[in-house]
Structure 1
Amino acid sequence: MTQSQKAGSGSQQTQILGDLVIHQGVTEERAAEIADKRARLVLEEYSREAAPKAFARIQELDQRVVSILANEGKLDALREPSYQIALQKAQISAASTEREGDYDLLARLLGQRANQDSRFVRASVDRAVQVVDMIDDAALRGLNMMWVISAFTPGGNSLGQGVKLLEGLLGKFPSHELPRGQRWLDHLDIIDLVRIIPGSLTTLKKFVPLYADKWPGFLSMGVEEDVAKKVHGQSTELGVAALQMVAHDLKPGYYRLRFHSTNQMRNVMREQKLPEDKIESAVEIALSVCNLETKDDALVPKLEELVAASDALKEIADWWDQIPDFPQPTTAGITVAYANSRRYHQFENTTGLAEYLEQST
């Protein structure tokens, strides 16, 4: 008996014990074949009248998925059976929607799902792909903006710089016709992207107080000149430039560190490859001597002025301040917001989806 075996285009073939063949490596051509095979299974559920439209929509998704996986070097994710199941679920959602943006969002969700060991991430993505075709456009804009405001803290060295960076960041995302009232939150609650606790005594912190808490260093009590000179000596002794104080731009005669928080300070020192014990010693001085996170409430009106002076921020702040109750994005909601946000901004050198999901628990 003659046995003939052929490897697929662009793949490698390994024969074990004469009868077991393993194909290693997935090419773009093979990925398209796999996606097409899953699509054929989905199409079996449709009538001959609906099948052509469903197939055309699924092809829009599949082309995007293969492109993303190829660009990110993740084509081998298609060797995993559970990933093919996730792809099929996304194809079902794609078949149910005519919105071009949904195909992009579904493809980005599958890009996040690729090669994921975390079952937490897998479950969140798998749930997210099943509701994309149900999300109202305005509700998606609201969810996206709500998550970005909560998740990100722009840097800079001063309050003015921070506000400018915030304006630039939020300006990257759709902010026209953001939804108002309760209806859009109820909609997201129904499809499990947010949780609303009825009658909760907790409400969202208003926009200006929220950023005042994100940027305590910019609004710091600061220290007088003699203390600043003492800290300069400690900075030289420790060999930590991060402890060098600058004139407080909001309090004449006072000095502050150039960071908005200890998180920013730690990140800068870690980028400088300082040892952790030296970093923590510097942070302790920043907190106990430099008043880095001791906010001067008398300076908060300055932040209010800067927000009011920006038409874009003023509009977003007004929208944020009217959000009712205390909506909390679910892990699926965070996953949708994260993937959708990356359609507009790539968030280079920032936390990945798995870390954002862990922070939410």
Structure 2
Amino acid sequence: MTAEQSQKGGQGSKQVQIAGDYIVNVGITEERAQEISIATARRVVEEFAVESHQILEARVEELDQRVIKNLSNADALDSFADPAFIRSYRKAQEGAASSERPSDYDMLAALLTDRAKNPRERPRIVGIDGAIDIVDRVDAEALRALTVCNAVAQWTPTGSVVGQGLQLLDSIFASLIDGPLPEGTDWLDHLDALNAVRRNTLGGMKTMEQFYGEQLVGYIAPGVTAEAIPQFVGAELAEEPWPVLVVPHELKQGYFRTGVTSVVELEKVLRAAGKPDAYVQTVMSRAASEFGLGQQDDAARAELMTRIRALSNFGLVADWWDRNAENGYYITPIGRSLARANAFRLDTGNRLPRE
């Protein structure tokens, strides 16, 4: 590169000097995205026998329509200009061409949308691309079980009211359980073969009572009677009124607790309210010492499970989970991506957070 540049132009001309790369991004329209998808699909279909072209073209077109609609809604059509995305897109078209299940096209479209939103998060991309590779091969019952297990691990309510939190989970499971849940271990072996889970034959899983006892520890804190509710924050903040965080303990009649699901959630609430560090730390300390936040009350935990098992969908999941608790496993990044895509496909009420 020379140190100086010079140029001449006639009257009315536009001149631009560039030192380095010059990139013009005019954006991808839906029409251009359609052209790219057709060109990519043509290459995919040509790899199969001529006799199958008509049905394969129809399947790939089903996927293309879903992907372009999703990316347009997400303002992410420019992903069609990214070679890395096109590579994933072609794999998805190959998967669609190999599958007769319309649900697979929805899942592939969801995975590609997730891929477009996270173009540089390589660990996440590995999981998404791996999930794209196995969509057309995963068994429906195994996928349903994987989706439920991932939902249990990933999503918990944050609201202060026990009944509402459990009803929310029940409604989520109602949408995810679109058929029977498998028994035995064949479904885990199948998912292990697809690298969606890793079997752990040396240990089992926590029971549902143990798991939700930890996840919803705020719901089952020991709590205090009305007479023992603190009036002021205390310590250096002796004149500060205790924050409006105290709610009746739904699982222990006559008691009160802090209206959060966990210690972490309490800190989030206080910081969102703009409270200074000293205030936050003092309130958190007193919530633990006065209300038992972070501790589990045995009677409250038992009552929590009684209410969970009384719910039609959440109770079904709890019973199924406990019957299979001796089968240890963990979900891989591929499995998490696959389960999220299936959950979002089934979550037509948009109850699940997309981020």
Question: What band does the TM-score fall into relative to the shorter chain?
Answer: 0.7 to 0.9
Number of the residue aligned with 1:359? none
SS in structure 2 at match of 1:306: helix
* 1:256-335 paired onto structure 2 within 5 Å: 256-275=257-276, 278-323=279-324, 324-335=326-337
Q: What secondary structure sits across from 1:229 in the alignment?
A: coil
Which residue does the alignment assign to 1:168?
A: 171
CA distance in 2, matches of 1:350, 1:236: 39
Residue matched to 2:56: 54
How many residue pairs end up in the alignment? Answer: 334
The amino acid across from 2:37 in the alignment is A
What amino acid does structure 1 have at the position aligned with 2:283? A
Distance in 1 of aligned mates of 2:200 and 2:352: 34
1:105 corresponds to which of 104, 107, 123: 107
Contact 2:218 2:259 in 1 (8 A): yes
Partner of 1:146: 149
Letter in 1 for 2:112: L
Relative to structure 1, the CA distance from residue 314 to residue 36 in structure 2 (aligned partners, 3 Å threshold; closer, same or farther) is same
Distance across 2 between alignment mates of 1:44 and 1:290:
67
| Residue 225 (structure 1) shift | 4.5
Equivalent position amino acid for 2:159 in 1? G
Q: CA deviation at 1:328?
A: 0.9
Q: Relative to 1, partners in 2 of residues 1:29 and 1:224: Cα closer, same or farther, differing over 3 Å?
A: same
Contact 1:61 1:103 (C-alpha < 8 Å) held by counterparts? yes
Instruction: Check whether the contact 2:171–2:313 (CA below 8 A) recurs between aligned residues.
Output: no
Matches within 5 A, 1:1-361: 22=24, 24-115=26-117, 116-198=119-201, 200-201=202-203, 203-225=204-226, 227-231=228-232, 237-238=239-240, 241-242=243-244, 244-275=245-276, 278-323=279-324, 324-345=326-347, 350=353, 352=355
More displaced 10-residue stretch of structure 1: 166-175 or 292-301: 166-175
Q: 3-state SS of the aligned residue for 1:255? A: strand
In 1: Cα distance, 2:60 partner to 2:205 partner: 39
**231-240 or 109-118, larger mean C-alpha shift:** 231-240
Amino acid at match of 2:120: D
Specify whether residues 174 and 246 from structure 1 end up closer, same or farther in structure 2 by C-alpha distance, changes over 3 A only.
closer
- Using the size of structure 1 for normalisation, the TM-score is 0.84
Structure 1 position 45, deviation (Å): 1.1
Residues 133-172 of structure 1: CA deviation (Å, up to 9, x unaligned):
0011111111111111111112332433332222222222
- Structure having greater relative contact order (Cα 8 Å, sep ≥ 6): 2
- Using the aligned pairs only, state the percent identity: 33
Check the 8 A contact 1:232/1:245 in 2, yes or no: no
RMSD over equivalenced CA pairs, Å: 2.7
Is the radius of gyration larger for structure 1 or structure 2?
2
Is the contact between residue 26 and residue 76 of structure 1 (CA under 8 Å) also seen in structure 2? yes
Q: Give, in whole Å, the separation in 2 of the partners of 1:66 and 1:178.
A: 33
Structure 2 CA distance for aligned equivalents of residues 186 and 98 of structure 1: 24
Classify 1:280/1:168 alpha carbon distance in 2 versus 1 (closer, same or farther; 3 Å): farther
C-alpha distance in 2 between matches for 1:332 and 1:163: 28
5+ residue gaps in structure 1? 1-14, 353-361
Question: Structure 1 residue 278: deviation in Å?
Answer: 3.7
